[in-house]
Amino acid sequence: MIEITDSDGVRVITFNRPEARNAFNVAMYREVTDAIDAAGATDELRALVLTGRGSAFSAGQDLGEMARIAAGEPNDGIAGGFPALIDALAGCPKPILAAVNGVGVGLGLTLLAHCDVVLIDETARLRAPFAELGVPPEAGSSYLLPARLGWQQAARVLLCADWISAKEAVDAGIALRACAEGTVLDETIEVARRLAGYPPEAVQEIKRLMRAPERSAVDDALRRENDAFSRLLGSAANQQALARFATRRK
């Protein structure tokens, strides 16, 4: 489900399910989580880059899997999948960069708030269709998107479920800069190598110190979001929304 390449102190983790636009199913959650945790524990690796194979960065949660869970199938897998990935992202002591090569939907957008540096292909666009799907925000995004984007742009993303372009993502502050088509991975690796060249103790302290002030707010948001998810997932409105969404996508 993923590819891993280690070079010059930088681990590149490539989401590799292009047939599903790199949507996260339980297996992919686990592979990404393990790859992040292992990089965190390996001295020679000093920075991580997340990217996607094909035209998408990630379509987010696999909606087929979500529909089965919403319909009442046992969800042990997903519980071990999504939360473990968020823990790995939030707990990684090393800088995580994202090279957003294409479309990012749902978690493909919200995980960017857990990345330290985000570059985006100028043709990519982002969307969080939670309102339309009848589900609450996830991954701490109810706190992190207002913090990263400002209130109005966060409301546009979370309440209006609008698409935002690469330029809008940069202007709003969820990405650092847009890159010429096809160059985002190379440019991101270049930044990652620069970070890998600084004294690693200092780089990790800087990341830790920057993340510390928002840690408890992120944890609180995750708790509230999970509670809301339990209430809304599988409701009539949610099941209808998932069915409509699936129909329209075909």
**Between vectors from CA 231 to CA 229 and to CA 237, what angle results, nearest 5°?**
95
- One residue of 22, 61, 110, 238 binding a copy of itself per CB under 8 A: 238
Is 174 a residue that touches a copy of itself (CB under 8 A)?
yes
Q: Does 191 bind a copy of itself (CB under 8 A)?
A: yes
Residue 27 interacts with a copy of itself (CB under 8 A): yes or no: no
Residue 43 sits in the site that holds a copy of itself (CB under 8 A): no
Q: Does 134 bind a copy of itself (CB under 8 A)?
A: yes
**Which of 131, 163, 165, 245 touches a copy of itself by CB under 8 A?**
131
Among the residue ranges 10-18, 22-30, 103-111, 116-124, the one whose residues contact a copy of itself (CB under 8 A): 116-124
Nearer to a copy of itself, 26 or 118 (CB): 118
Residue 237 in contact with a copy of itself, rule: CB under 8 A: yes
- The footprint of a copy of itself on this chain (CB under 8 A) covers a number of residues equal to 63
Instruction: Measure the CA angle with vertex 200, ends 173 and 110; round to 5°.
Output: 30
Of 1 and 232, nearer to a copy of itself (C-beta) is: 232
Q: Which residue has the tokens 């650092």?
A: 176
CB of 84 to a copy of itself, least distance (A): 22
Among 48, 63, 105, 133, binds a copy of itself (CB under 8 A): 133
The residue ranges that bind a copy of itself (CB under 8 A) are 95, 113, 116-118, 130-137, 142-143, 146-148, 150-156, 158-161, 173-176, 191, 194-195, 198-203, 205-210, 212-214, 217, 220-221, 224-225, 228, 231-232, 235, 237-238, 241
